[in-house]
């Protein structure tokens, strides 16, 4: 079957490198790719990536929706109490536009 | 997990959990594992599972007990079967019958 | 010497048979999909051969060695890895690749906490430990400890940057070129580039 590539968002990325963003903490029953440790976290945009299929929609192979992907940089000391590395240590995670809001 | 983290999104959501040492011993895949690996890729190539999300969703739907008991490629097999059934390529009855037949053939020394 | 009367032939050592229900499910599904014509037995064999033809030493390591000797290639690799790896014969169609450059101040290491996403077109199949619960759980939280378990001790002024591959981007680490390799050929350099250094749990081997 064919499905249109639905362009759900603005054609231009909402965020730029360096923007502070918060990852949504909402409950989501469907297949999605935001680990619990990342939900609710605040970080910065490290890279504006391409557009990819939204996992929630494509999980059954039938619904297509291209979404902008971002690499979000988090600080390890924000994520883990008692983190035992450098305060400069980071964790980059790839998060879709629809899970991000300005912080 | 961090102190105020959200709930795990499923049995596969492991980031930040406590765990033992990383077992580094490696082994070659069993032949059936190579078959399952290739089968999943062909299911992708032939348009049955066009996106990795479909395989992942199938794995995540196994539930925590099953997820934790199965090996990596057993999970792939379970999810591939789920997807194949959902798409009407095979039925559960056909699969069960084929498993039975193949086991019998092995036992008969065929 | 007495002889047993086996009910079945012994399993082939090189083709161990399925034992569990789910293992049987996998081979049964494959059998049925061939029967229904989704693909042929030949296509399956070819796919296995194709998968097993990709080794870190012939694919990923060559990309790294080229980047070590050729500054222009390195720049292209860091800007557009998909095109750059194609130049050296690797397939980029299936993945969206990003190469992460280690520097004297930054050490990158990759994990997929949610499943096992891995740059297979450069490194082949992932090792079991990469897919393990322990690695997926602990690397994000205590990367330096996990690295030390792999024998990697980073200096105090080196920042660790963990990458969790949560989407369809795949990551390959470009390790630091070891000292004492001036004037080495690409081929010789490639031998120092281990799979583990391209995941980021180790540095490249030293001469």
Q: Is residue A1 part of a domain?
A: no
Partner-chain contact B13 C113, CB within 8 Å: yes
pLDDT for the residue C6: 36
Cα end-to-end span (Å), chain C: 55
pLDDT for the residue C54: 95
Q: Report the share of chain C in percent with pLDDT over 90.
A: 87
Q: Is residue C33 part of a domain?
A: yes
Q: Is residue B69 part of a domain?
A: yes
Give which of C186, C143, C183 is closest to C161, Cα–Cα: C143
pLDDT for the residue A84: 87
Higher pLDDT, C18 or A47: A47
C-beta of residue A92 within 8 angstroms of C-beta of residue A45: no
Grade residue C1 by pLDDT with cuts at 50, 70 and 90. very low
Q: Give B-chain residues touching C117 at CB under 8 angstroms.
A: 52
Question: What is the ipTM, given to two decimal places?
Answer: 0.93
Q: Which residue has the tokens 């393990």?
A: C132
- Rounded CA-CA distance A37/A23 in Å is 10
Number of domains, chain A: 1
Domain housing C31: 21-52
Partner-chain contact B26 C127, CB within 8 Å: yes
Number of domains, chain B: 1
Asked if residue C206 has pLDDT above 60, the reply is: yes
What does each C-alpha distance from C166 to B96, B107, C64, C96, C129 come to in angstroms?
A: 34, 43, 24, 13, 18
C154 touches chain A (CB under 8 A): no
Distance from CA of C141 to the nearest CA of A (A): 7
Tokens of C159: 């920042």
The verdict on C48 and C68 lying in the same domain is no
Task: For residue range A9-34, list pLDDT tens digits in order.
Answer: 557 899 999 999 999 999 999 999 99
Q: Is residue C123 part of a domain?
A: yes
- Rounded CA-CA distance C124/C150 in Å is 20
C152 touches chain A (CB under 8 A): no
- Rounded CA-CA distance C32/C20 in Å is 18
Grade residue A56 by pLDDT with cuts at 50, 70 and 90. very high
Task: For residue range C103-162, list pLDDT tens digits in order.
Answer: 999 999 999 999 999 999 999 999 999 999 999 999 999 999 999 999 999 999 999 999
Q: Give A-chain residues touching C163 at CB under 8 angstroms.
A: 91-93
Q: What is the CATH number of the domain that holds B41?
A: 1.10.472.20
Task: Please tell me the pTM assigned to this model.
Answer: 0.92
Q: pLDDT averaged over chain A? A: 90
Grade residue B4 by pLDDT with cuts at 50, 70 and 90. very low
**Considering only alpha carbons, which residue of chain A is nearest residue C139?**
A91
Q: Is residue A14 part of a domain?
A: yes
């Amino acid at each position: 079957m064919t499905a249109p590539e639905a362009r759900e968002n603005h054609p231009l990325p909402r965020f730029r490198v360096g923007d502070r963003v918060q990852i949504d903490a909402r409950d989501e029953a469907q297949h999605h790719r935001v680990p619990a440790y990342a939900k609710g976290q605040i970080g910065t945009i490290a890279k504006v990536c391409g557009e990819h299929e939204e996992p929630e929609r494509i999980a059954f192979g039938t619904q297509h929706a291209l979404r902008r992907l971002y690499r979000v940089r988090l600080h390890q000391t924000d994520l883990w109490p008692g983190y035992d590395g450098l305060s400069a240590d980071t964790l980059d995670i790839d998060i879709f536009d629809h899970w991000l809001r300005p912080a | 997990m961090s102190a105020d983290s959200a709930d795990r999104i499923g049995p596969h959501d492991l980031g930040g959990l406590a765990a033992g040492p990383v077992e580094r011993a490696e082994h070659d895949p069993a032949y059936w594992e190579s078959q399952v690996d290739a089968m999943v890729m062909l299911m992708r190539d032939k348009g049955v599972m066009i996106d990795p999300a479909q395989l992942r969703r199938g794995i995540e739907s196994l539930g925590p007990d099953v997820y934790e008991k199965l090996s990596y490629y057993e999970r792939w097999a379970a999810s591939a079967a789920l997807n194949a059934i959902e798409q009407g390529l095979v039925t559960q009855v056909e699969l069960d019958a084929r498993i039975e037949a193949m086991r019998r053939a092995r036992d008969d020394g065929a | 010497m007495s002889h047993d009367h086996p009910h079945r032939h012994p399993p082939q050592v090189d083709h161990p048979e399925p034992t569990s229900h789910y293992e049987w499910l996998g081979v049964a599904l494959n059998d049925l999909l061939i029967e229904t014509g989704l693909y042929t037995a030949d296509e399956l064999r070819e796919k296995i051969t194709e998968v097993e033809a990709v080794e870190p030493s012939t694919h990923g390591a060559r990309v790294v060695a080229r980047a070590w000797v050729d500054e222009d290639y390195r720049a292209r690799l860091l800007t557009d890895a998909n095109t750059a790896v194609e130049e050296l014969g690797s397939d980029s169609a299936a993945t969206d690749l990003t190469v992460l450059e280690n520097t004297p101040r930054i050490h990158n290491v990759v994990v997929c906490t949610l499943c096992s996403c891995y740059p297979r077109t450069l490194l082949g199949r992932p090792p079991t430990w990469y897919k393990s619960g322990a690695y997926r759980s602990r690397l994000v939280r205590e990367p330096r400890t996990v690295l030390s378990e792999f024998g990697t001790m980073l200096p105090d002024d080196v920042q660790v940057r963990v990458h969790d591959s949560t989407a369809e981007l795949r990551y390959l680490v470009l390790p630091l070129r070891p000292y004492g390799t001036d004037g080495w050929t690409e081929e010789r350099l490639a031998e120092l580039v281990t799979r583990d250094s391209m995941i980021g749990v180790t540095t490249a081997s030293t001469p």
